[in-house]
Structure 1
Amino acid sequence: MRFLDSIGPLLASSAKERVKQVPVRLLLAVVVAWAMYAADMGRWIPLWLAVALLVQAFELVAMAPFRRAEPSRRRFWVALALASTTLMATTYGGMALIIWSSNHPALVTLAALTLAGGLLTNVASGIGSRTIFFIGGGPYLAVLTLMPVVKILQGNTHGVVVMTLSAALFAGAILNVYWRVHAARQAEIQSRAEAEERLEQAQAAMADRAAMAAIVSHELRTPVSAILAGAHVIRGGKLPEQREETADLIIDAGQLMTGMLNDLLDHSKMEAGAMSMESRDFELGDLMRDTARFWAAPATEKGLTLEMSGGEGDAVWLRGDPYRLRQIINNLVSNAIKFTPAGTIRLQAAAPGADGRHRLTLTVTDQGAGITPEAMSRLFTPFAQGSAEVARTYGGTGLGLTVSRELARLMGGDLTVESVPGQGAAFTLCIDLPAGEPTQAENSLDAAAPVLARRIRVLAVDDHEINRRTISLVLQPLDVDLATASDGHLALALLAERPFDVVLMDVNMPGIDGNEATRRLRASGGLNAAVPVIGFSAGTEAAQVQACYAAGMTDWLAKPLEPRKLYDALHKATSSGGQAEAA
């Protein structure tokens, strides 16, 4: 039964090919009848023609379901179709053997041609399946084997050896041709399937990109609108008391936009296999307390309670990527606050240790509406939301959970979810991490501009006017002597004319990029050959950062530039230690 099930799908192409062979078979039947008449076998002609017509009619009926657009796969019809193929070959092969035994020269020739034609037509109709070929060609091969035997039984042994060898060579040639044609057909089918799969993948990718463009363009309008509105309020200056509130609005909108762009960049890096993880020591309690402190205000503003458990006792030092861990937790807590109308959000952590390793488990539980099974199936799909209503109500790119799970897996763990509709959801991050060593906590610097010992001369190099204006605005509180250049050529010309205390160099510029400009500056031997160069770029990969230092830069900052980090870098570059390092 399983054999019939496997053959059924292959009969469609065979049935279409065999119906094309009907005129040839009918013509052959007439030719055989004419040859029988010439050999004084006229009494057998009506019987032969009747059998040939009946067998052909039976095959047409049996193969009919498989010639339709949706061929029948029922076992009865599969068995009937195979029986008709066998009967057709047996009828014409048997007739070939009968007229072969007559020893009439014309009939002997016709018998040989009948066998050759029968085998070749089965090569065409059975090209898609070896089983179908041997079912249809087997009787012809059997007749070919019996032909020398018939001659021996008739007592005519003259030339039997040559006849046997000729039959074997012909059968071998037919089989060789079929094997090559069948292999070529299978290769063609496989290539076509692969091409169709690639086409489907390309179409899916295009659809994903279109969805991404639509979602991102829609979501970016919200922070952009807030930034523009806030800027117009500040520019108008009609309500000075709202300036601080407006500035907060712009900052929040900028952070929202930065978060979206970071998700997009992270997703692109993961697709390209270019995402890398850091490995440094951190304390679990600090990570938990920082997270709770960061999200306490948004939760309270919505009337929610944010509870934290874990990390309160003895310090637990781990070694991993705390920045990426914080990114995952922030995504989970942000979603929990977003989808919980009222109640409590729990952030739990545990990291039991053994043999120098810790099993870190972080769980974020909300009291929202929960996740339906349908939404669960696409929960971690890029640019997909739980439902159209969720997308309209809450917005977002739909990348947060996708990026979070991929980050978890890159760190050797996983992110899972349990949810009952109407009872909230619990997202759990599990990662095995090695034990870390206690380190000195870094001091967080105030965003306020430092007081420099003297007025410094700064050259800012960036090909985008908006970036140059941004740097100028951020450096205004420092009262620096600022010059700007729009490309590497202009920067090198200015650096050859007058001295500077520090250079802010954009890495990615057309023409001479920041790395090349720095290399040329260091090799020039001019008055600014040893000046500190602070590079800044949106490319944050370790290899890209290392390339900046290899080019001769003394420091590096990530875009978008944060004022606090820029002030810190300037202070470091213009201090005695920074100057000595640059020299």
Structure 2
Amino acid sequence: MTLKEIKNQYIQSKSQFIIFDDKGYCLDSCDTLFQFSKLEGSIFIHLPFLESMEEAFPTLPLNEEFEFPCINLSFDGTEGYYDIILKRTSFNDDISNLCILQDFTHHYEHLIILQQERNDSAIKSEFLEIRERVLSLEKDLLTFQNDELKRIQEFKTTFFAQISHELRTPLNGIVGLVHLLGFPYNNTKKAEYLQALSATSQHLVAIVNNILDLSKIESGQLHFEEVDFNIHDLVNDVCQSFVFSAQEKNILLSHKIANNIPPHLKGDDTKLKQILFNLIGNAIKFTENGEVYLSIESRENNGNWDLYFKVKDSGIGIEKDKLEKIFQPFEQAENNTSKLYGGTGLGLSIVKQLIELQKGQIKIKSKKEVGTEIEFSLTYGLGKNEETFELKHEKKIFLNRILVAEDDLLSQKIVQELLKNWGYEVDVVADGRDVLENIKHKSYDLLIIDHQMPVLNGMETIKIIRESEYFNKLPIFLLSGQDIKNKNLLTEWQVEILRKPLNPDDLNKLIGNLEEPTDFEVVNLKYLETITQNNKIIIKELVEIFMNKVPVELEEMAKALNKPDRESLKQLIHKTKPNYKYVGLNLAFAALEKWESSIDRELPVNNEVEILATITQTVKAAIAQLSSKKLNLGLKKNETNLKWAKN
């Protein structure tokens, strides 16, 4: 046998042709590899690869070959790797399909093993490369972390050095001015020191506000208020804070507000005041002599007002290439600026962020040794034209006793003395728990509660009061030095917010806005008018009996609460109950009736102190109303009753 014949025999033993129609039925096959000639049904069922080509066969060009190497086929328990040639051809004068299979299983198996080894080697090499890169990145990260820690440490050192210096300066000023106020100077001199003390305090507050707001901005927790304010009052307050420092440097400080600006606007007045305080403060700080000028223009915009502010000074100015830098935190135009002029480098950064967070814009123009001009714009709504209150306080007739809850002794003293000077009786406690205890035993017309207190904080205390059946209508002011998260809840609870540090004008205004309470049960004499046939003399006598008798009975009931004998308390309730019906205190009458019934049936009454406190408060309000001129009953003035009603 020749070599050619051996090769042909080998090739024939490894190859097979199949001729089949478009439906996959075998027309002819040499059956070298697979027994297709005896196959019943379509070969597409047994060879998924050919089945996938079923729709393509009728479209193939005639006599053109298509090769598919290394196709995995399995038939009748035999599996291998085959090169496949497909061809559209003519067989017995009919168009059919030719498939040539060439078995390269042994060859491909070796190739697969070899390829797998190569893949494993490549993967291992790539893994080692990735590992080296990871180690390199970890090293870079450690270097970066070390550098960052050093930078943070340097930043903290610089920050605390600047802040401590900035805080110490106004604090020293305050201490010194307070000391000077202790000397027997004339009123003019003392007024001058008080003005300086006020300006220094404002400076200190501005520094603290900048630090706190920077933290809030970075944490995304800065919120903006929507309150009515007077733009003229706001600007006057800001400028007044700098009058003393401007006079010291012989600087002319002036401002102009365009005539077309509505005096009453709606927006965050605190943030605007902070922006202006920073800008005017900077202008005065960097101006040795000359002037600082604030102007405000406006334009109406769909019911709102776009305000355009300009702060201009004749100070040292800033070089052009350093203008953008000054808006970055802790950055100043020159390295020695803080040494020469002081400052934290926070002011302009805070200003820019406060403006941009309110969708405003800010720009700066400056020329060295000529001066600086900063312009910014903000949009405000139209505010309500409300009456403004001067510091001179008009005492509310219906407001007598106020409870102040504040854990800081100095803050306690300030609020207490302020309210006393306005003519109010003031009780002071240091915790929310004491608030709840006090209102059970005394009648209060207003609660002023600090937000941050031990044991029970302001919000927790107010929640308990508002959920109470008996004290949920008490007017409440919440003192807070921070943003309140649950403002909607405070609105629902009808709680007013007072900002710290406390501005007497703000407290004055809130008290001025209080209306005489109508939520307490009001006196209704229709029942008396009916049973007496509107006999004024008898009505007057019965009302006087109520006013003289009921307070005594309430005190007796308070004593009876502490006795184990429940029968005496029940008899007192039964005895006093009709008096409430006479003057139309129906809710109090119902409460007494329910209380008496519970004692009679030996049911526990857990809130007796609260019930009695509420009834006492109702009676006091009733006596105040019965004594008023509105009812015109001609009652004899009883100082004892009136004093009791006020306590």
Report the TM-score when normalising by structure 2: 0.56
Distance 2:265 2:423 in 1: 43
**SS of alignment partner, residue 468 of structure 1:** helix
Match status 1:168 vs 2:115: yes
Distance 2:451 2:494 in 1: 10
Distance 2:443 2:481 in 1: 28
Match status 1:485 vs 2:454: no
* Native 8 Å contact 2:451 2:459 kept in 1: yes
Cα deviations across residues 180-225 of structure 1 (Å, max 9, x unaligned)? 3334444554555556555554554444343332222222222222
Cα deviations across residues 9-32 of structure 1 (Å, max 9, x unaligned)? xxxxxxxxxxxxxxxxxxxxxxxx
Call closer, same or farther: CA 1:416–1:461 in 2, change over 3 Å: same
Give the 5 Å matches for 1:549-564: 549-550=491-492, 552=493, 554-564=495-505
Task: Give the partner amino acid of 1:530.
Answer: K
Match status 1:425 vs 2:372: yes
From 225, 229, 247, the counterpart of 2:194: 247
Distance 2:317 2:299 in 1: 29
User: In the TM superposition, what is the alpha-carbon distance from 1:544 to its structure 2 partner?
Assistant: 4.1
* Native 8 Å contact 2:228 2:265 kept in 1: yes
**SS of alignment partner, residue 447 of structure 2:** strand
User: In the TM superposition, what is the alpha-carbon distance from 1:283 to its structure 2 partner?
Assistant: 9.3
2:388 corresponds to:
444
* Native 8 Å contact 1:415 1:429 kept in 2: yes
1:213 corresponds to:
160
Cα deviations across residues 101-136 of structure 1 (Å, max 9, x unaligned)? xxxxxxxxxxxxxxxxxxxxxxxxxxxxxxxxxxxx
Task: Give the partner amino acid of 2:425.
Answer: D
Distance 1:408 1:420 in 2: 23
Match status 1:364 vs 2:308: no
* Native 8 Å contact 1:369 1:421 kept in 2: yes
Give the 5 Å matches for 1:282-431: 299=246, 302-305=249-252, 311-312=258-259, 321=268, 323-351=270-298, 361-372=308-319, 375-376=322-323, 378-430=325-377
User: In the TM superposition, what is the alpha-carbon distance from 1:312 to its structure 2 partner?
Assistant: 4.2
2:418 corresponds to:
474
Call closer, same or farther: CA 1:554–1:279 in 2, change over 3 Å: closer
Give the 5 Å matches for 1:54-133: none
Call closer, same or farther: CA 1:522–1:360 in 2, change over 3 Å: closer
Q: Which has the higher helix share?
A: 1
From 495, 508, 515, the counterpart of 2:452: 508
* Native 8 Å contact 1:502 1:574 kept in 2: no
Match status 1:494 vs 2:449: no
Task: Give the partner amino acid of 1:533.
Answer: I
* Native 8 Å contact 1:456 1:480 kept in 2: yes
Task: Give the partner amino acid of 1:546.
Answer: N
* Native 8 Å contact 1:457 1:501 kept in 2: yes
Higher relative contact order (CA 8 A, sep 6+): 1
Distance 1:529 1:319 in 2: 30
Task: Give the stretch that moved more between structures: 344-353 or 449-458.
Answer: 344-353
Q: Number of residue pairs matched?
A: 418
* Native 8 Å contact 1:215 1:383 kept in 2: no
Call closer, same or farther: CA 1:329–1:494 in 2, change over 3 Å: closer
User: In the TM superposition, what is the alpha-carbon distance from 1:517 to its structure 2 partner?
Assistant: 1.5
From 184, 196, 207, the counterpart of 1:238: 184
* Native 8 Å contact 1:485 1:491 kept in 2: yes
* Native 8 Å contact 2:398 2:516 kept in 1: no
* Native 8 Å contact 2:206 2:278 kept in 1: no
**SS of alignment partner, residue 378 of structure 1:** helix
Call closer, same or farther: CA 1:294–1:225 in 2, change over 3 Å: closer
User: In the TM superposition, what is the alpha-carbon distance from 1:497 to its structure 2 partner?
Assistant: 1.9
User: In the TM superposition, what is the alpha-carbon distance from 1:347 to its structure 2 partner?
Assistant: 3.9
**SS of alignment partner, residue 326 of structure 2:** coil
User: In the TM superposition, what is the alpha-carbon distance from 1:491 to its structure 2 partner?
Assistant: 2.0
Q: CA RMSD in A?
A: 4.0
* Native 8 Å contact 1:515 1:547 kept in 2: no
Distance 1:330 1:245 in 2: 21
Give the 5 Å matches for 1:175-194: 175-190=122-137, 193=140
**SS of alignment partner, residue 173 of structure 1:** helix
Q: Which has the higher strand share?
A: 2
From 480, 496, 502, the counterpart of 1:537: 480
**SS of alignment partner, residue 364 of structure 1:** strand
Task: Give the partner amino acid of 2:363.
Answer: T
**SS of alignment partner, residue 397 of structure 1:** coil
Distance 2:237 2:504 in 1: 21
